[in-house]
Amino acid sequence: MATNISFLLNGDKISYEIKDHWTLLHLLREEMGLIGTKEGCGNGECGACTVIVDKLAINSCLYLAIDADEKIIETIEGLASTDGTLHPLQQSFVDNGGIQCGFCSPGMIMSSKALLDENPKAGHEEIKHALAGNICRCTGYVQILDSVEAARDKGGQNE
């Protein structure tokens, strides 16, 4: 079965003919070539595939593409400005060592963005809670939490 869906992706209007069994992850990665969103488990456990749908961080591996119809979708590709300026969260992850192998990073940053968009003053415990669905095997999370807190403290501004 094929269905036509329309959605807003990183600010662009998209219309796409999809197969009904596709996940949003499949649509983004395999069909649209947006490889910044990663597949770490395919079971909704690791959070590497996190994207934001209507302001909510979701596991795109468990989210059917057909449900993206009429939704607003944000992926890691949409964060930096077109002139190459990083989003404050991205810059903070760079500056505070929140990146090691980088595989979990896009999902980690998207979960952090969904949180700070909703609550720009989120505390340490709230941040830990918001990132509990994103598994990192490299960092021990300390520098990731530092990165999110530093971005929060700058109030969404780069330096």
Partner 1 sequence: MSDYTIIGKRMPRVDSRAKVMGKAKFTADLKLPGMLVGKIKRSPYAHAKILNINTSKAMALPGVKAVVTGKDTEGIKWGVFAYTRDQEFIQTQKVRYIGDEVAGVAAVDEETAIKALDLIEVTYEELPAVFDPMAAMASQTELIHEDFPDNINIHVNIDTGHVDENFKKAHYIREDTFVASEESYFQAEPYAIAARFDHEDCLEVWMPNGGPHMKAKPLSNAFKIPLHKVKVRKIAIGGAFGGRSEICPVDYICALLAKKTKQPVKIEFTREENTIATRQGHSMITTHKTGVDKDGRVLARETTCYMDGGAYSSTGPIATSVPFLSMEQAYRMGSVRYNGYRIYTNKPIRGMIRTHGRGFACGLDTQLDMIAENLGIDPVEIRLKNSRQSGEYTSTKSYVDSCAMDETILKAVEKSGFKEKWGKLPPFHGIGIGTNSVQTGFPMGIRGGSQSFIKFNEDGEATVMSGVVDNGQGNDNMLVQIAAEELGLLPEDIHLVSADTETTSSDPGSYSQVSTFVGGQAVKNAAANCREKLFKVASKILKVAPETLAAANRMIFVKNDPEKSIPIRKVVRISLLNFTSVNAEGGYWPRVDMKREWVSNPYGQMCEAFSFGTTIVEVKVDPDTGQVEVMEVTAAQDVGYALNPLVLEGQFEGSIAMGGQGGMLTEYHEWKDGRCINTTMLDYKLPLACDMPPKINNIIVESIDPKGPYGAKEAGMSIAMSAAQGYSSAVSNAIGVYMDSFPLTPDKILAAIKEKKQ
The site for partner 1 (CB under 8 A) is made up of 29, 33-43, 45-46, 48, 75-77, 79-80, 86, 90-91, 93-97, 99-106, 109, 127-129, 131-132, 134-145
- Residue 58 CB, shortest distance to partner 1, in Å, is 17
In the structure encoding, which two tokens stand for residue 119, read together? 């609550």
Q: Which is nearer to partner 1, 55 or 137 (CB)?
A: 137
Helices (H), 34-104: 88-95
C-alpha to C-alpha distance for 97 and 118, rounded to whole angstroms: 24
Q: Which is nearer to partner 1, 14 or 69 (CB)?
A: 14
Tell me which residue of 155, 159, 114, 105 sits closest to 134, measured CA to CA.
Answer: 105
- Residue 131 CB, shortest distance to partner 1, in Å, is 4
C-alpha to C-alpha distance for 13 and 8, rounded to whole angstroms: 5
- Residue 64 CB, shortest distance to partner 1, in Å, is 17
